[in-house]
Structure 1
Amino acid sequence: MKINPYLMFDGNCEAAFKFYEQCLGGKITMMMSHKEAPSAEGVPPEWHDKIMHACLDLGDRLLMGSDCPPGYFEMLQGFYVQVSVPEAAEAERIFYALAENGKVKMPIAQTFWSVRFGMLNDQFGTPWMVNCEQVV
């Protein structure tokens, strides 16, 4: 079993996924707007360019998301998207890239369980943990 996060956005899903593709690597394999979907006629015209479904392929995991219909968006809370990498330098690169125009909750640093660990909310409001575990 694999569990993949599905993030909801308030109209900025396309910008978020292009940002995540740049920060995390991987490749956007799907970015479908509402006007491209079979149900386009049921969506208000001002919503046609919003994203119905996006998928970022990160190798063995996927990051997926979409724009919520108007009036349905709720701020993300009660979870973090956790990224684990094997190298401290890569953890720092990803952390600082995601933190651009965001809010650092816990600066990236060595902890008792990891070589590097940090927490932040990115510029889109998505909460992230970046971790580089210690090799035992």
Structure 2
Amino acid sequence: MARINTYLNFNGNAEKAFRFYQSVFGGELFIQKMKDTPAGKELPEKEQNCVMHVSLPIGKNNVLMASDIMESSGQRLIPGNNYYICLHTESRNEADQLFEKLSQNGVVEMPMEDMFWGDYFGCLKDQFEIQWMISFNESDQ
């Protein structure tokens, strides 16, 4: 496995939180807003400026990442569901194997598939209620 990172969820304040984390840890933020995604213009106006993805490198090989929840998609932030463990794999095959094993007796939130941002990606909640994101990007190899 290439690396493991923490992925956080926020209720509309991901950018503010990450600007704070940047002031603590330094580093350069990457921020993509919901309005800049392929379906962004179809979202309610109040959600268009929410964060689809933000990342902040911390140290040598760690990245703190996050997004805002989308209430229009039925998402609700409840303490305890505001994080994911994000596994970045070294191959599509490894991604599929980990996804299959972790999802046994769990709930698949998004099956593994190619995403518009370039990753092969999926997410799930395992049988112990732990949330996982599995991601592979050919360019990381």
1:76 to partner: Cα distance = 3.4
User: Is structure 2 residue 76 aligned with structure 1 residue 72?
Assistant: yes
> Mind listing any 5+ residue stretches in structure 1 that lack a counterpart?
80-136
On the 8 A contact 2:9/2:69 being kept in 1, the answer is yes
- Counterpart of 2:79, as a letter, is M
Identity of counterpart residues, as a percentage? 32
1:21 partnered with 2:22: yes
> Matched residue pairs, number?
79
Identify if the C-alpha distance between structure 1 residues 78 and 68 changes in structure 2 by more than 3 Å, giving closer, same or farther: closer
The superposition leaves residues 7-34 of structure 1 with CA deviations (integer Å, 9 ceiling, x where unpaired) of: 0001100000000011112221x20111
The root-mean-square deviation of aligned C-alpha atoms, in Å, is 2.3
TM-score, normalised by the number of residues in structure 1: 0.52
Using the size of structure 2 for normalisation, the TM-score is 0.50
Single out whichever of 33-42 and 70-79 deviates more from structure 2: 70-79
Answering whether residue 64 of structure 2 is matched by residue 63 of structure 1, we say yes
For residue 77 of structure 1, report the CA deviation from its aligned partner: 6.7
Larger Rg over CA atoms:
1
**Aligned-partner Cα distance in 1 for 2:43–2:36:** 11
Deviation at 1:3, TM superposition (A): 0.9
Uncovered stretches (5+) of structure 2, i.e. residues with no partner: 84-141
Inter-partner Cα distance in structure 2 for 1:9 and 1:77: 10
Partner in structure 2 of residue 40 of structure 1: 40
8 Å Cα contact 2:52-2:68 kept in structure 1 = yes
Q: Letter of the 1:49 partner, please give it.
A: N
Looking at structure 2, the residues matched to 78 and 50 of structure 1 have their Cα atoms a distance apart, in angstroms, of: 15
